[in-house]
Amino acid sequence: MNVEDLPHLVVGACMTVHQTLGPGLLREAYEECLAVELRGLELKVERGQSLSFDYRGHSISGAARLDLVVDDVLLVQVLVTEQIPDLERQKMESLLRLGGLKLGLLVNFQVPVMRKGIERFTVKRRSAEAV
Protein backbone atom coordinates (compact mmCIF):
# COMPACT_ATOMS: atom_id res chain seq x y z
CA MET A 1 0.00 0.00 0.00
CA ASN A 2 1.14 3.53 -0.78
CA VAL A 3 1.98 5.64 2.30
CA GLU A 4 0.01 8.53 0.80
CA ASP A 5 -3.19 6.42 0.88
CA LEU A 6 -2.83 5.63 4.58
CA PRO A 7 -4.21 8.92 5.97
CA HIS A 8 -7.29 8.59 3.76
CA LEU A 9 -7.98 5.09 5.10
CA VAL A 10 -7.56 6.28 8.68
CA VAL A 11 -9.84 9.28 8.12
CA GLY A 12 -12.48 6.91 6.73
CA ALA A 13 -12.15 4.72 9.82
CA CYS A 14 -12.45 7.80 12.07
CA MET A 15 -15.63 8.79 10.29
CA THR A 16 -17.06 5.29 10.75
CA VAL A 17 -16.30 5.33 14.49
CA HIS A 18 -17.75 8.84 14.90
CA GLN A 19 -20.86 8.00 12.89
CA THR A 20 -21.41 4.86 14.99
CA LEU A 21 -20.67 6.31 18.44
CA GLY A 22 -21.24 10.06 18.12
CA PRO A 23 -19.54 12.59 20.41
CA GLY A 24 -19.53 12.49 24.20
CA LEU A 25 -17.53 9.39 25.18
CA LEU A 26 -14.15 9.05 26.83
CA ARG A 27 -11.05 9.37 24.67
CA GLU A 28 -10.03 5.77 25.39
CA ALA A 29 -13.29 4.43 23.91
CA TYR A 30 -12.68 6.21 20.61
CA GLU A 31 -9.05 5.10 20.56
CA GLU A 32 -9.96 1.46 21.09
CA CYS A 33 -12.79 1.51 18.54
CA LEU A 34 -10.54 3.21 15.99
CA ALA A 35 -7.91 0.51 16.52
CA VAL A 36 -10.59 -2.14 15.87
CA GLU A 37 -11.62 -0.40 12.62
CA LEU A 38 -8.02 -0.06 11.43
CA ARG A 39 -7.18 -3.69 12.17
CA GLY A 40 -10.32 -4.62 10.24
CA LEU A 41 -8.68 -2.90 7.26
CA GLU A 42 -5.68 -5.20 7.83
CA LEU A 43 -3.44 -2.36 8.94
CA LYS A 44 -0.74 -2.82 11.57
CA VAL A 45 -1.78 -0.85 14.67
CA GLU A 46 0.24 -0.30 17.84
CA ARG A 47 -1.60 1.25 20.80
CA GLY A 48 -0.02 3.13 23.66
CA GLN A 49 3.59 2.96 22.54
CA SER A 50 6.02 4.68 24.85
CA LEU A 51 8.09 7.35 23.12
CA SER A 52 11.83 6.85 23.47
CA PHE A 53 14.56 8.91 21.87
CA ASP A 54 18.24 9.84 22.15
CA TYR A 55 19.18 13.14 23.75
CA ARG A 56 22.84 14.10 23.55
CA GLY A 57 23.94 10.51 23.74
CA HIS A 58 21.50 9.56 26.49
CA SER A 59 18.54 7.27 25.97
CA ILE A 60 15.30 8.89 27.15
CA SER A 61 12.38 6.51 27.58
CA GLY A 62 8.78 6.99 28.61
CA ALA A 63 8.75 10.63 27.50
CA ALA A 64 5.21 10.41 26.09
CA ARG A 65 2.50 7.97 25.05
CA LEU A 66 1.67 7.54 21.38
CA ASP A 67 -2.04 6.74 21.01
CA LEU A 68 -1.95 4.80 17.72
CA VAL A 69 0.93 4.11 15.34
CA VAL A 70 -0.33 2.76 12.02
CA ASP A 71 1.95 0.78 9.71
CA ASP A 72 5.01 2.24 11.48
CA VAL A 73 4.63 5.59 9.65
CA LEU A 74 1.43 7.34 10.77
CA LEU A 75 0.79 8.66 14.27
CA VAL A 76 -2.84 9.15 15.31
CA GLN A 77 -3.43 11.14 18.48
CA VAL A 78 -7.02 11.00 19.75
CA LEU A 79 -8.65 13.96 21.50
CA VAL A 80 -12.04 14.70 23.02
CA THR A 81 -12.17 18.46 23.44
CA GLU A 82 -14.27 21.44 22.37
CA GLN A 83 -11.40 22.93 20.35
CA ILE A 84 -7.91 21.69 19.57
CA PRO A 85 -5.48 23.87 21.53
CA ASP A 86 -2.33 25.13 19.77
CA LEU A 87 -0.28 23.26 22.38
CA GLU A 88 -1.70 19.95 21.06
CA ARG A 89 -0.54 20.89 17.55
CA GLN A 90 2.94 21.68 18.83
CA LYS A 91 2.97 18.45 20.81
CA MET A 92 2.05 16.49 17.65
CA GLU A 93 4.97 18.03 15.76
CA SER A 94 7.35 17.10 18.59
CA LEU A 95 6.02 13.54 18.81
CA LEU A 96 6.43 13.02 15.07
CA ARG A 97 9.95 14.42 15.01
CA LEU A 98 11.17 12.57 18.12
CA GLY A 99 9.36 9.36 17.18
CA GLY A 100 10.84 9.30 13.68
CA LEU A 101 7.39 9.18 12.08
CA LYS A 102 6.51 10.83 8.77
CA LEU A 103 2.79 11.58 9.07
CA GLY A 104 0.34 12.41 11.81
CA LEU A 105 -3.37 12.89 12.32
CA LEU A 106 -4.78 14.78 15.28
CA VAL A 107 -8.34 13.50 15.65
CA ASN A 108 -10.93 15.22 17.85
CA PHE A 109 -14.08 13.13 18.31
CA GLN A 110 -15.90 15.87 20.27
CA VAL A 111 -17.29 17.51 17.12
CA PRO A 112 -20.65 17.30 15.36
CA VAL A 113 -19.00 16.62 11.97
CA MET A 114 -15.88 14.42 11.96
CA ARG A 115 -14.18 16.15 9.01
CA LYS A 116 -13.91 19.30 11.16
CA GLY A 117 -12.14 17.34 13.90
CA ILE A 118 -9.18 16.04 11.88
CA GLU A 119 -5.88 17.80 11.25
CA ARG A 120 -3.05 16.32 9.18
CA PHE A 121 0.64 16.81 9.96
CA THR A 122 3.78 16.00 8.00
CA VAL A 123 7.35 16.15 9.21
CA LYS A 124 9.28 19.00 7.71
CA ARG A 125 12.84 17.79 7.35
CA ARG A 126 15.55 20.32 8.10
CA SER A 127 18.54 20.44 5.82
CA ALA A 128 21.97 19.77 7.34
CA GLU A 129 22.84 23.46 6.87
CA ALA A 130 19.86 24.63 8.95
CA VAL A 131 20.88 22.63 12.03
Other C-beta atoms within 10 Å of 83: how many?
A: 11
Q: What pTM, to 2 d.p., does this model score? A: 0.90
Helices 6-21, 27-40: inter-axial angle, 10-degree rounding? 130
Average pLDDT over residues 95-124: 94
Mean pLDDT within 2-7: 86
Question: What pLDDT, on the 0 to 100 scale, is given for residue 123?
Answer: 85
Residue count (the chain): 131
> 41-82 pLDDT, tens per residue?
999 999 999 999 999 999 999 999 999 999 999 999 999 999
Where are the alpha helices (H) located in the chain, listed in sequence order? 6-21, 27-40, 86-99
The whole-number average pLDDT for the span 28-42 is 98
Report in angstroms the alpha-carbon separations of 14 from 66, 86, 88, 125: 17, 21, 19, 28
Whether 92 and 65 have beta carbons less than 8 Å apart is answered as no
CATH code of 3-123, in short, is: 3.40.1350
Q: What is the pLDDT of residue 12?
A: 97
Q: Is 7 exposed, middle or buried (0-12, 13-18, 19+ CB in 10 A)?
A: buried
**What's the pLDDT at 126?**
54
- What is the pLDDT at residue 120? 96
- Cβ–Cβ < 8 Å for 111, 79: no
* pLDDT tier, 4 (very low <50, low <70, confident <90, very high otherwise): confident
Split at pLDDT 50, 70, 90, the class of 3 is confident
